């Protein structure tokens, strides 16, 4: 894995934005895998700014997001779909027909098959953006006894529920999510992992220096041939 340590979240956002814009210019109908959460927000801000400056167009870009809560309406203010609309899609010229999302209210097995087929039909994911949970999760793949493969419905762990509970002020934080599996994520041609802040330092160390184990789902990235990891100094602070 190629690890880069940059000074700040903003510097990482600009660097990752630059890589995504390069990809879009090289292949205007490229397929991007996108993540939600606080980590990619500086990247999405930089992409919106690049679009506003006229240096990139998302007109033919296709996207697939990693995960979505279950048992929450798609347009609820805390759904990941709403997050993506607010942070990126409504700020650029995305064609709504090109936005791929898991449906947290569909039958999980049928939805998983549909999503894998849709990604395959799009030609596979060219560039997948990832964040990491404090417990080493990627997407909503929590520590487990085996690496998951395709998308599946997952019970969120207490640590993940505590980390995200603050966003839910009207309805209880969902207990389940539907997420792309580790196997499906690793089929992307290139992965970009971003981790910022001290709270991610232990998970980053396990991802980069620990054994490849489903107890740290992010450690599976060690088996992928093209991974770029962007860290700020706090997230890198435990690396040897
Ligand atoms: C969300 C996702 C999650 C987050 C992770 C970190 O789509 O994939 O794995 O990347 O929970 O979340 P933040 O960025 O909020 O610290």
Taking the centre of ligand 1 as the mean of its atom positions, its distance from the CA of residue 109, in whole angstroms, is: 23
Please choose from 133, 135, 166 the residue to mutate so as to test ligand 1's pocket, defined by most ligand atoms within 8 A of CB.
133
pLDDT for residue 224: 98
pLDDT for residue 110: 98
Instruction: List pLDDT tens digits, range 88-131.
Output: 999 999 999 999 999 999 999 999 999 999 999 999 999 999 99
CA triple 9-41-182, angle to 5 deg: 100
- Which residue has tokens 């706090």? 234
Which residues in the chain come in under a pLDDT of 50?
none
pLDDT for residue 184: 98
**Residue ranges of the alpha helices (H) in 38-146?**
41-52, 80-87, 108-121
pLDDT for residue 2: 98
pLDDT for residue 141: 96
Q: How far apart are CA 183 and CA 137, in angstroms?
A: 14
Active site residue 26: no
Catalytic residue among 126, 137, 164, 232: 137
pLDDT for residue 64: 99
Who's near 67: CB < 8 A, 6+ residues apart?
36, 80, 102, 139, 140, 177, 178, 179, 180
Structurally, what CATH architecture does the domain formed by 2-231 represent? 3-Layer(aba) Sandwich (3.40)
pLDDT for residue 165: 84
pTM given for the model: 0.97
33 lines ligand 1 (CB under 6 A): no
Nearest CA to ligand 1 atom 11: 133
Taking the centre of ligand 1 as the mean of its atom positions, its distance from the CA of residue 133, in whole angstroms, is: 6
């Amino acid at each position: 894995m190629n690890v880069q340590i940059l000074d700040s979240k903003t510097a990482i956002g600009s660097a990752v934005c630059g890589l995504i814009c390069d990809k879009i210019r090289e292949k205007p109908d490229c397929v991007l895998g996108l993540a939600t959460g606080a980590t990619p927000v500086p990247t999405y801000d930089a992409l919106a700014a690049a679009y506003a400056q006229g240096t990139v167009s998302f007109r033919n870009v296709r996207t697939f997001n990693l995960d979505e809560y279950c048992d929450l309406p798609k347009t609820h203010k805390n759904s990941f779909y709403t997050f993506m609309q607010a942070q990126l899609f409504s700020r650029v010229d995305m064609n709504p027909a090109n936005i791929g999302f898991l449906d947290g209210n569909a039958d999980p097995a049928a939805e998983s098959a549909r999503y894998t087929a849709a990604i395959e039909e799009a030609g596979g994911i060219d560039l997948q953006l990832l964040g990491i949970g404090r417990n080493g999760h990627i997407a909503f793949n929590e520590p487990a006894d085996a690496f998951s493969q395709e998308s599946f419905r997952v019970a969120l762990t207490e640590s993940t529920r505590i980390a995200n509970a603050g966003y839910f002020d009207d309805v209880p934080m969902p207990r389940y999510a539907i997420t792309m599996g580790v196997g499906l994520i690793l089929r992307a041609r290139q992965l970009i992992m971003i981790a910022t802040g001290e709270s991610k330092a232990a998970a980053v160390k396990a991802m980069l220096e620990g054994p490849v184990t489903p107890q740290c789902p992010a450690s599976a990235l060690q088996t992928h041939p093209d991974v770029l990891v962007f860290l700020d100094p706090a997230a890198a602070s435990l690396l040897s």
